[in-house]
Structure 1
Amino acid sequence: MSNDTVRAPSWPGYAEVHRVTTLLRRESVGGMLLVVAAIAAIVWANSPASDAYVALRDFRFGYEPWHLELSVGAWAADGLLAVFFFMVGLELKREIVSGSLRRLNTAIVPVTAAFAGVAVPALIYVAVVHTQPSLLAGWAIPTATDIAFAVAVLALVGSHLPGPLRIFLLTLAVVDDLIAIAIIAIFYTSDIDLLPLGVFAVIVVVYGAVAHRGRAWFARNGWAAWVVLLPIGFAAWAFLHASGVHATIAGVALAFTIPVAPSRRQPVHRGMDLAEQFEHRYRPLSAGIAVPLFAFFAAGVPVEGGEGLLRAVADPVTIGVVAGLVLGKPIGILLGVRLLTLLTKVRLDPALKWIDLAGVGLLAGIGFTVSLLIAELSFPAGSPHTDDAKIAIMVASLLASVLASCVLLVRNRRYKHLALAENVDADGDDVPDVYQQPHPGPR
């Protein structure tokens, strides 16, 4: 191996691993709430009281002249999910400015894996449904990874997995969400009204200017963002919704205007890293309310007994989505990383093994939140293919989580045994020695 070989992802510092581990613990709670909400919706939608569920989901309210008279389900998908995308945008900007995406040697592997993990599932879906052109609109359904669900599973089964693997999954999932957002904006937007789109752009600039000018004030006063930034953000969301572009994208656009500290190695003045403070403050709103409520109103699919299950199983959409998520995600991720290491000088960190990446690849097949959103955008209202796609997403996510858990539990046990055999803090400085070694040996 030549001296100029790039190793990626590089071994993270102790502070970085601690931050990501803390994030995973928070997401585990949100992931469990997401599952509970989805199960509750399925049970209610298939119970004798299913009419009440449909009536609640389809109840409309709002102000029509502003294109805001929406059903409860639409408010959850377009409005509450914008909060989730705001959190994704904050995390993505922090990774670009001061995290693992700011350097090529730490970003290239998970970014390549993310793009390959989007392309291969889409190709598998297209190969399955190519004989029915009307179904091709659902090609993007199996491309998305649910960051909350995936990291929740990792937090539950991977307490001793190496730090680079956790960084790899988080970066992969964030980039995956960014790709999904771009797909929604480009391929699932039909008619665009340029006037409200232009107003939206102006409001985003104003939002960013206010956030930068008042970042110290917003940092000191938790209520200030609710009083000042929330109304501006809602106005931006409303105009983007009126333009015809899916309104959840407003969350990412607004998040990208929030100030981020340039480097974690530099001292952070109060208010400089407003993105980190917002992420800490508003993640419970996203993980505990917004995403579970969206899942509750999106996952309530009436199965209609044995006939409904037989229809769903026979539907090419179901087969394509399940195959894309369960098979396409791990194949794409492993293939992308393998080609990268073969065609370039990039090499995996010695702390990572291909079997570890295979486990994360299976974990990336959990495509819940964004996949459900894309399923609703792919087919006409009332189409049975929408319900079949949702059933496929839930089945695939369950399969992916079980298969990934089987692989990662075995690997976690291996790393746990290795950790017990090591003196993790020989110098007594309260920092595990493994994080102070420039190049940990293979495991």
Structure 2
Amino acid sequence: MSNHSIIRIAREMSDIQKGPDLSLAVACRDIDVRNVKAIIIGPPDTPYEFGFFEFALKFGKDYPGKAPSVVATTTNGGRCRFNPNIYAQGKVCLTWRGERGEEWSSAQGLESILISIQSLMSSNPYENEPGFETANDESDKKNQKDYVAKIRHETLRISVIQRMEDYLDISPITGAVISSAGVLGSDSDDEMDKTFGEDSTIAFEPFRDMCKRRFMWYYDSYLLAINKAKSEVKDGQQFTRMPFECPGNGMDGKFNYTELERRLRTIRKTLDEETERWAEEGLLQTKKESGVAANLQRQYEQVVEAYKKDRTVTLDIEFVDKNPFVWAITYFGRPMTNLDGGLFRIKLSFSPRFPDEHPRAKFETPLFHHRIAADGTPCYTPKRPDDVKTHIEAIIEALEEESPPYDPRTMVNPEAAKLFWGSADDKKLYNRKLRRAVQRSME
């Protein structure tokens, strides 16, 4: 591979990694920039909403003159076709392979490929099948609805629940944790290794921590989707086969949202237990005077000193039980805002593998806010994952932002978000609920 190709791929990956798009993530092994893993978060208001869809891209020596090969790896081991253009065997049909004028151009790149795939994940994917773009008779309308219904179910079952159970080593049947090591690879890793000839025995799972954090962001949305679907389909009801599906390249199965809800709640409980274990492991690391413990101690001292000098925000920061892996942050609501007078306690829990794993924040003081989930998990993105101060700054920024851009990917409290972006009366009700929460924080 030419140096030009390598530099181009590395730059395109860096642009995505540093960019603001919460829907895309990319990674590769340090020694192999030609083989890239990518994950697309399913777009809001589609049956793919907040699913984790992974793809493997292989760049040839002639890139960007020639498009990379693209393989979908979130397929339930080759048994599930998630879209008319995303086959169960992993084939992805993209527009530049079609008619004249849609061919690949060297002006395109990694991001445009991922956006093209993301565009396939529409609110009505039935129309992606050639010949069905303008299907409007009654049978087609029913098929469209049935197709959306089963994609929504399998998005939750395969792209979210199975993935998270694999990351956490949870048995899907019993809900028990099989082990704590998490050394086994997922279907996605196995498929990518087979596709690209990888012979490494170490699973490459670059999105493990990100998916765990996003799961906590979107947990309430997953439960809402399940509750809505339960009123539309019955457990045990068979999926409807589409006209363009065939044995070995379709989406067959039965609805069972009751079971999906049980598994979803088990995952959430296991994640909370994992966070609690971090504190225990952190104390051991502190006794051993590990590098991570020393790093957190040093950053704590720097952060405390920095906020002593910062007159724009009032914070108290201390260790919980003298453990540098658990920080208690008390935030005082800024004057002349809806948070004025509030007193909010935020717990920041650090992994023994920080910064490879992000800290997990939780508001222990209940607060009605569109960026804070019902269980207290805030939605925020730090500028530098290895710098604790940027985590704190990002949390405060998300909390205080008065006129945020409309972005469903940051709405982790569905009830609050519906009011915040609703009518004028809805917004007034949102502000009243927020102020009540602020007042209760002072009691």
Superposition TM-score, scaled by structure 2 size:
0.26
Give 1 or 2: higher strand fraction: 2
Higher Cα Rg: structure 1 or 2? 2
Superposition TM-score, scaled by structure 1 size:
0.26
